[in-house]
Amino acid sequence: MSKPACSPATLAARAGVETDTAHGAVMPPLYLSSNYTFDGFKNKREYDYSRSGNPTRDTAGQAIAKLEGGHGAVLVASGMAALDLLTYAVKPGELIFAPHDCYGGTHRLLRCKAERGSFRVRWVDQTDLQKLEQAFAEEAPKLILIETPSNPLLRLTDVRAVCTLAKRYGTLCAADNTFLSPVLQRPFELGADIVIHSTTKYLNGHSDVVGGALISRTPELHQDFAFWANCIGNTGSPFDAYQTLRGLRTLEVRIRQQEKTALQVARFLEQHGAVAKVYYPGLTSHPGHLLACRQQHGFGAMISFEVAGGEEQVRLLVEALEYFSLAESLGGVESLIAHPATMTHASMDEAARAKAGISNQLIRLSIGLEGAQDLLADLTEALDGVLASLPSEVEREVVAA
């Protein structure tokens, strides 16, 4: 009798375990060697040069591919390197559809490469299927990039509906799954051809590695991306792969606990007078809540919200917090606070941010593994200070608007 498919927790915990044939080590060793000997003239072994292939990086890549349900994963130097590698699926003159409200680094890379003639890019609101269908009818792209939940506004795109539409036109579908990880969302099961990760975030989970992964549904796509990664030399280092594999083992327990705390924080923020609006798919007030219930296996640990007032109130908030570090990135064991307009999305001009709905009052939180009551107490004190700094009730409404 065959065993049932392993859960993500089991796949992650057992990745690479008992694969050492030399000494019987329980955990896979770290191979730092840059090169490997040939077994005689014209007799290459499985590995020859670490840019092209490395046992540690391959073990981590296989683990991530299994978690996502893909054929294979190419591990590269950063999340942006993974996105850049993805663009090698598109030739000059061909079109990419990208989210109008995507991560600032994504917007910058696609915009700059399009300006150099690498491809063309069209920014589309993918949450509006009617507009998306119209865009496809006008000109179908070679590739559509899906980012759901979006960064930083946590808008949701119906991955299955978008992939179904794209397949009618022969368009490749790539989904950025960084915010949720394969524990909380499975894009391949929803029709995606490619899944992208910044492994810096939840997959590693300890804020001590920068890396990226490009996972393919088919052997052909995987071989193509592996070929280009070797050609351009953006493959990840063995040590980073080793660290990522170590972090991956606790992925499920980390993200489930972070999600549990995030829901408490989101509900608290929704009730506080210094908060104008909260963006978190786990709240029933979120316009994508029902879609999140359908296509996700949880709501994640990222929250965004609008602070009432102006720049002074934003400054008061970020400087008053003790257990939220003012820093970019996300998905680590530590809680972070970011101001997208001046940090993660500063590379977008003001008009692009306005079109995406990213205001100067927007705050993004990455919930870590601190005690929920400590985070809530920290936020209460900071937001109470913001509330006290606001003008009178009548003036406050004008400022918030």
> Is 111 assigned a catalytic role?
no
| Banded pLDDT at 399 (limits 50, 70, 90) | very low
Is the full-model pTM beyond 0.85?
A: yes
pLDDT of 293 above 90:
yes
Range list of H helices, 73-171? 79-86, 104-115, 129-138, 159-168
Domain boundaries for CATH 3.40.640.10 within the chain: 8-248
The pLDDT of residue 22: 86
The pLDDT of residue 227: 98
Strands laid side by side in the 120-124 sheet: 72-76, 212-216, 194-198, 172-176, 143-147, 95-99, 120-124
**Comparison of pLDDT for 392 and 113, the residue scoring more:** 113
Q: Phi, psi (5° rounding) for residue 165? A: -65, -45
Quote the crossing angle between the two packed helices 159-168 and 129-138, to the nearest 10°. Answer: 20
The pLDDT of residue 398: 41
The pLDDT of residue 182: 97
The pLDDT of residue 6: 82
Active-site position among 31, 36, 103, 242: 103
Active-site position among 186, 201, 217, 353: 201
> Which residues in 164-192 are b (16+ Cβ under 10 Å) and which e?
ebbeeeebbbbbbbbbbbbbbbbbbebbb
**Lookup: tokens for 311:** 């720049």
What class does CATH assign to 251-400? alpha beta
Q: In this predicted model, what pLDDT tens digit does every residue of 217-243 receive, in sequence order?
A: 999 999 999 999 999 999 999 999 999
Q: In this predicted model, what pLDDT tens digit does every residue of 49-77 receive, in sequence order?
A: 999 999 999 999 999 999 999 999 999 99
The pLDDT of residue 204: 98
SS3 for 191? coil
The pLDDT of residue 195: 98
pLDDT of 394 above 80:
no
Residues 77-103: what's their mean pLDDT? 97
**Lookup: tokens for 323:** 């257990």
> Is 249 assigned a catalytic role?
no
Q: In this predicted model, what pLDDT tens digit does every residue of 172-210 receive, in sequence order?
A: 999 999 999 999 999 999 999 999 999 999 999 999 999
Mean pLDDT (the chain, rounded): 95
> Is 277 assigned a catalytic role?
no
Active-site position among 51, 160, 246, 256: 51
- Contacts of residue 2, Cβ cutoff 8 Å, sequence gap at least 6: none
The pLDDT of residue 319: 96
- Are the C-beta atoms of residues 302 and 330 closer than 8 Å to each other? yes
The pLDDT of residue 196: 98
Beta 72-76 vs 212-216: how paired, if at all?
antiparallel
- Contacts of residue 331, Cβ cutoff 8 Å, sequence gap at least 6: 178, 200, 201, 202, 203, 204, 205, 301, 366
| Banded pLDDT at 146 (limits 50, 70, 90) | very high
Percent of the chain with pLDDT over 70: 96
> Which fold does the domain 8-248 belong to in CATH?
Aspartate Aminotransferase; domain 2 (3.40.640)
- Are the C-beta atoms of residues 175 and 186 closer than 8 Å to each other? no
Residues 250-254: what's their mean pLDDT? 97
The pLDDT of residue 1: 52
Displacement of CA 180 from its chain's centroid (Å): 7
| Banded pLDDT at 356 (limits 50, 70, 90) | confident
Residue ranges with strand state E in 285-380:
302-307, 325-326, 336-338, 362-366
Rounded to an integer, what distance in angstroms lies between the CA atom of residue 340 and that of residue 286?
20
The pLDDT of residue 375: 98
Q: In this predicted model, what pLDDT tens digit does every residue of 320-330 receive, in sequence order?
A: 999 999 999 99
Active-site position among 176, 193, 280, 353: 176
> Is 315 assigned a catalytic role?
no
Give helix then strand counts, H and E, for the chain: 15, 12
**Comparison of pLDDT for 401 and 116, the residue scoring more:** 116
pLDDT of 392 above 80:
no
Domain boundaries for CATH 3.90.1150.10 within the chain: 251-400
Cα–Cα–Cα angle for 111, 114, 119, rounded to 5 degrees: 140
Q: In this predicted model, what pLDDT tens digit does every residue of 3-22 receive, in sequence order?
A: 666 888 899 899 889 988 88
